[in-house]
Structures are given as C-alpha cells and as structure tokens.
Structure 1
Amino acid sequence: MNKNLVTPKQAWDELISFWSPFSFLLVPGASTEQIEAFQMKEDVILQPRLKELISIYSAFDIPSGYSIDFSAEATLAPIDTWVRFDKSSMNTIMDDPDWWPGIFRDNNCPSTSMKDYIVIGSNPWAADYGFYVMLHQSSNTVFSIDENIPVIKPLGDIVTWLAENRLGGFQNVKAYVDSYNEESDNGGGAGMSKENRFYLELGYPEALARWNKVESKFISTFDEIGAGQAASTDKKEKAAGLH
C-alpha cells in the first residue's frame, strides 16, 4: 500500500475489515473542538491528514494479549490522553534535560527537540516494559519507543501505520483468539478480559472506563470465535478419520 495514496478512511477501513467481529471496540473520532483545544493546550500543530484520521475514529481498544508490539490497534490512544513529549512522564521523571535529546540524536530521529514530538499512546500490556508510541508532528511520522533500553524506531507515516500493521502479525481474528487460548493458562474471553483489566488498572483510567462498557460483549464475541475454530478443527479431524 502506497503511503501517498492511502486515505485516512481507507486506513480505518483496512483495520475494521480485519477486526470486523470486534468493531464495537472502535472509539469515536475527536471533534474539531477537541482537536483545537489539544493544539492550544500542548502548543502543537497537527497536520490535516492526522486531523482527518482521528476525526473518523480515535482508537481501537483491542486487548493485545501476549502479542506485545507497536501496532496501531494496541497502542494508539484517543487525543484526550496525548501529551507533548517534554511534558510526558517519560521526560518529567528524568533529572538530565539532555537525556532524551541525546537519545533522539543517537537514534537518528528527525529532530532533537522534545517539543517536536507528541506521545500518542502505549501498550497497556507492556506497562512493565515501557512500550510507547510518539508522533513527529511536522512529518506525521510515528516512532516506537522501548523506554527500558532505550531504543526509538520509525514506524512510518501514521495513516499507513494504521492501515498496514496488524497486531501480532495475525492472519485473522481466529488466529488472535487461538494464540491467546493456546498460550494462556487462563484462556477464553473472560481470561483475556481479566488480564486486560489488570493492566488497565495500573494507570489507564480512560481506557478502563471504555472497557467497562464493552467487556461483556468482548467476552462473548471472543468465545464465539474460539468455539467456531474448535468446531472447524473437530470437523476436519472427523473427515480425516481421527475420531
């Protein structure tokens, strides 16, 4: 997919198509008033392409499970939680004002000024690992941050990032469900939800409030997909004479 051709709507369409059984996890888009208030509060300028993207939807609250990575659906947060990098907790807990500018330089970032970046989300399941995502506001480029190392890597144009990078590299939603059920001792939708809730309670109050509204539907949808896969596997085994 050519990043210069894909539109914000096409990007969301790609994500929604993949995660269609969980479309109820989409977070409504930011209003013009919300975007303007954020720009004024943080003294930043968001590019038109980004404004269009987050005005359609602002996030997708799919639990990442053990597939901890920097995919859009796992790490992008709504604008009301965004913060300019120099105001973020990553910087405010540091004693050395040159720490992050030095890290930006060492990782070949487009600017060494913290004011040029916005922290736009993190992976709740990676709370102990410090997995964050930041945006270089003038270029619309998204960067992953592994804070504990620290390492910063470009993820590309934010619209293309949303369109192309699916959580865990799964081929479909059944693979997502099966992977968790196979790896977890506490499988099923209730197990996934319980672990997701644990991480959200570590310091994601807005996400937790959204989760409370969709949790029961997530559990039933997750289990329906798992049951469908189990039925399909059983059918194949019977056809092969394994039953």
Structure 2
Amino acid sequence: MNKNLTTPKQAWDELISFWSPFSFMLVPGASAEQIEAFQIKEDVILQPRLKELIRIYSALNIPAGCNLDFCPEATLSTIDTWVRFDKSSMNTIMDDPDWWPGIFSDNNCPSTSMKDYIVIGSNPWGADYGFYVMLHQSSNTVFSIDENIPEIKPMGDIVTWLAENRLGGLKNVKAYADSWNDESDNSGGAGLAKEHCFYLNLGYPEALARWEKIEPEFISTFDKISGLQNTSDDKKEKAADFQ
C-alpha cells in the first residue's frame, strides 16, 4: 500500500483485518455535529482527511497488555475526550508557561505554540507514566509524548499511523494473546480484563463505560484465540461426565 495514497477507509480496513476477532470493540464514528461542536469548543480546525477518518470509526481501544506502545489500538481516544494541548492536564498542572514550548522546540516539533496541537489519546496502561498522543492539527501529524522524560517523537500522518502501526509489532492476534499469557501472572482474558479495568478506573470514565458493555465478549474471544476456552470447556465436560 502506498503510504501517501492511503485513504481513511483503507486505514480502518487494515486495522480491522488484523483485529477481526475483536471487531465488536470498534467505536462508532463521530457525527458531523460532534466534530463541529468540538472545533467550536476548542477553537481548532480539523483537516478534511482527519474528519473523514473519525467519521468512519472513533477508536478500537484494545487493551495494551504488557506492551506500553504508542499505537492506535490502545491510545486513540474518541473525540469527546480530545482537548487542545494548552487546555490539557499536561499543561494546566505546570507552573512554568515556557515549559512545553521549550520541550516542543528541543524535540524539533513543527510549532512551539500549544494551541497548534490536540491531545487525542493516551494509553490507560501508561497512566502512571504519562504516555500521551497529540496531533499537530494543520499537518495531521501524530506525536507520541513520554511526559516523564519528557520526550516527543513524530509518528507520521495519522491515517498512515492507523493503517500500519500494530500493537507492539505483533504478527497476529494469537501473538497478542500468547504475549499476555506468557508475561503476566494474571493470564487469560479475565486476567487481562481485570488489569485493564484497574487502569481505566484511574481516569477514563467514557472508555470504562464502553468496556463494561463488551468485557464478557472480549474475555471469551481472547480465551478462544489463546486456546484457554477449549481447555475450560473440556474440564466442564469431564466434570459433567463424572457426575
């Protein structure tokens, strides 16, 4: 796929194809009214390519698992939580008005004005570390922010980012399940769901409300992919036979 010609629909198609067993987790796209209300509220101008992207779907929000990567599956939030950078908590808790403009300059960002950027997401699993994603609104360029260092890195055009950046460089959804089961003490879909809820409770009420609706299906799908569901079903059948 030509990076420069990737359309918003192709980007979502790429992401959905990879995560097809979890397609039920896709968040419906933002309406034209929601987008317009956001632009007025935050006094920003979203580019047509970005508007087209978020009208198709808003987010996927796959739990990050053990990998704290800046990826669209885990870090892209819905527009109802987006905020212009200067209004975001990252800036409002700072006492030094020159702090972030200086960081933008040190990291060779396209502008040093906080009004030129929008915080469009963060990784719930990075809540203790300050992992955020921001958008330079005039260029549609996405940047990762590791707030604790602090460090800002460009991740390219937002549509290309969505199309190409899979969680932690995973090869497939089986690798996603295996990675969690191999690295965590709380293996299985229920274990992942439990830890995901813990992080969402740290300040992600909208995402938590959505998650609670699909959590049982996520657990079932995750365990089916990793083979844990079959093991559980076999145990139930043996127990029934014994009775």
- Which of the five TM-score ranges fits, normalised by the shorter chain? over 0.9
Q: Is the 8 A contact 1:85 1:114 kept in 2?
A: yes
Q: Is the 8 A contact 1:3 1:157 kept in 2?
A: no
Quote the offset at 1:3 in angstroms: 2.7
Instruction: Show CA shifts across 1:135-182 (max 9, x none).
Output: 000000000000000000000000000000000111000000000001
Deviation at 1:191, TM superposition (A): 0.1
- 8 Å Cα contact 1:30-1:54 kept in structure 2: yes
Unaligned runs of 5+ in 1: 232-243
Residue of structure 1 equivalent to 2:235: none
Alignment partner of 1:136 is 2:130: no
Query: Hey, what does 1:223 align to over in structure 2?
Result: 223
Kindly tell me: are residues 188 and 56 of structure 1, through their superposed partners in 2, closer, same or farther at Cα, counting changes over 3 Å?
A: same
| Aligned residue number for residue 241 of structure 1 | none
SS of the residue corresponding to residue 180 of structure 1 reads helix
1:13 match: 13
Which stretch of the first structure deviates more once superposed, 83-92 or 222-231? 222-231
The answer to whether 1:126 aligns with 2:126 is: yes
TM-score computed with the length of structure 1 as normaliser: 0.93
Instruction: Give how far 1:229 is off.
Output: 10
Q: Scaled by the length of structure 2, what TM-score is found?
A: 0.93
Counterpart for residue 71 of structure 1: 71
Tell me if structure 1 keeps the 8 A contact 2:29–2:57.
yes
Q: What residue in structure 2 maps to residue 53 of structure 1?
A: 53
Question: Do residues 84 (structure 1) and 84 (structure 2) align?
Answer: yes
Give CA-to-partner distance per residue, 1:71-129, whole Å, 9 cap, x none.
11110000000000000000000000000000000000000000000000000001111
Corresponding residue for residue 171 of structure 1:
171
Find the counterpart in structure 1 of residue 38 from structure 2. Answer: 38
Give the 4+ runs in structure 1 shifted more than 6 A.
228-231
1:24 corresponds to = 24
Q: Which residue of 2 aligns with 1:149?
A: 149
1:174 to 1:230, Cα distance in 2 relative to 1, 3 A: farther
Which residue in the other structure is 1:234 paired with? none
**Partner residue in 1 for 2:105:** 105
Aligned counterparts of 1:87 and 1:184: Cα–Cα separation in 2:
36
Q: Distance in 1 between matches of 2:123 and 2:210?
A: 16
Match of 1:181 in 2: 181
Corresponding residue SS for 1:118:
strand
Match of 2:62, SS state, is coil
Q: Counterparts of 2:32 and 2:89 in 1: how far apart (Å)? A: 27
Change (3 A) 1:185 1:135: same
Which position in structure 1 is the counterpart of 2:4?
Answer: 4
Q: What is the aligned length?
A: 231
1:115 is matched with 115
Contact 1:174 1:229 in 2 (8 A): no
Task: Quote the Cα distance in structure 1 between the aligned partners of 2:53 and 2:20.
Answer: 19
Q: Which amino acid aligns with 1:222?
A: F
Q: Please say if residues 223 and 229 of structure 2, whose CA atoms lie closer than 8 Å, have aligned partners that are also in contact.
A: no
Aligned to 1:96: 96
Distance 2:137 2:2 in 1: 20
State the 1:2 CA deviation.
2.7
* RMSD across aligned positions (CA): 1.2
Deviation at 1:11, TM superposition (A): 0.0
